[in-house]
Homo-oligomer: A and B are copies of this chain.
Amino acid sequence: MGSSENAIGGGRTAAVDKDVDFANYFCTYAFLFHQKEMLSDRVRMDAYYNAIFENKHHFNGKAVLDVGTGSGILAIWSAQAGARKVYAVEATKMSEHARALVKANNLEHVVEVIEGSMEDVTLPEKVDVIISEWMGYFLLRESMFDSVICARDRWLKPTGAMYPSHARMWFAPIRTGMGERKLGDYQSAMDDWYNFVDDTKTYYGVDMSVLTNPFSEEQKKYYLQTSLWNHLHPHQVIGTAAIIKDIDCLTASVSDIEEVRSKFSLSITMENTKLCGFGGWFDVHFRGRSEDPAAQEIILTTAPSIDYSTHWGQQVFLLDPPIRVSEGDNLNASFLMTRSKENHRLMEVELGYEIQQQSGKLLAPFKNKYYIE
């Protein structure tokens, strides 16, 4: 127990203890209930289904690697689209269910399920396609793309294609009632704290007031500084959305994605409203490769939508207090997302911004810290 290893071949990533990684991360994926949730996301399923079956020329007679196969769905579709051989790698005991599913769908002569982590397994050949559904909340939470990069560098032929081929992160100003609710929750927690301090002094002779600041910081972080999962309605987006990261899955390295650093400008497009925070989401594209493009380019987007929401939702970063803004106001922002030192699969965000009103007046700049947990 407890052997250390580098998550990726590059030297820059700190060693990740495999058992800690399992306790913190992988274990959720061993549950069928969780797999079913993802398999019930029709937008996700449709995108991958169409990406494969509208582009059979990429799969027919080819060798395919499915990174993090879970229940085995992408591997099974790849085989049904005519693949000669599919290697379906899964780190958890879900691999046993994947194996049963492959067999029950009469594909065990094509799909080989391998239990292990992508960093450890050995394949008998290089592959023509690497397919994977690796995206976490706001794209990079979970840092699973590291494992896809490892797979690509070890097992993709020089002529091979990545499914998806590209990924982008988006960021937009929003209005929301969540901030008011979370502020209320924080204030209730503090009201309760002060009563608790009184009682503990009165009944138990211990003065807890020295812990008021740390408690307040802890609660503020929990209620106001931790990004929230939400299904945003398109009407909540009050300005232009900016692309803050653009990834070519064929060429990106781990150091390219360890940090997301962007300077950008947004315009407010809604008259007389409140900037309550920001929404973050992503999209991925299935374009094939430039020398061998997809016949049908498919896009899977997680943007705010009425009819096409996904299990990813969007990530909401709250402003406390909200700021009055109006149509034509501009926002100049700097965004920096890095990995948490305690857990490389979680993120920290530093967001700096200043508002330039339509009149030209510049408001005082802000700088906020957030945690994606």
A207 to B104 Cα, complex, angstroms: 7
- Residue of B at shortest CB range from A80? B205
Give the residues in chain B near A207, CB-CB below 8 Å: 104-105
Of B19, B45, B49, which is within 8 A of A20 by CB?
A: B19
Between-chain CB contacts (< 8 Å), 8 pairs: A31-B218, A32-B211, A33-B215, A36-B193, A71-B208, A73-B206, A103-B210, A104-B207
Within 8 A of B (CB), among A177-216: 189, 193, 196, 200, 203-211, 214-215
Q: For the complex, is A11 an interface residue (Cβ under 8 Å from B)?
A: no
Main secondary structure of the interface of A (DSSP, over half): helix
A15 at the interface (CB under 8 A from B): yes
Instruction: Report, as a range, how many residues of chain A touch the other chain.
Output: 35 or more
Contact B20 A2 (CB under 8 A): yes
From B4, B45, B103, B222, contact of A204 by CB (8 A) = B45
Shortest Cβ-Cβ A-B pairs, 7 listed = A2-B2, A104-B210, A2-B17, A23-B23, A19-B20, A32-B215, A1-B17
Query: Does A159 belong to the interface (CB within 8 Å)?
Result: no
A230 within 8 Å of B (CB atoms): no
Contact B215 A36 (CB under 8 A): yes
| CB-contact partner of A2 in B4, B100, B104, under 8 A | B4
Given known contacts A101-B210, A210-B101, A211-B97, A33 and B204 CB-to-CB distance under 8 angstroms: no
The 8 A CB mask of A74-110 against B (1 = contact, 0 = none) is 0011001000000000000000010011011100000
**A77–B205 alpha-carbon span in the complex (Å):** 8
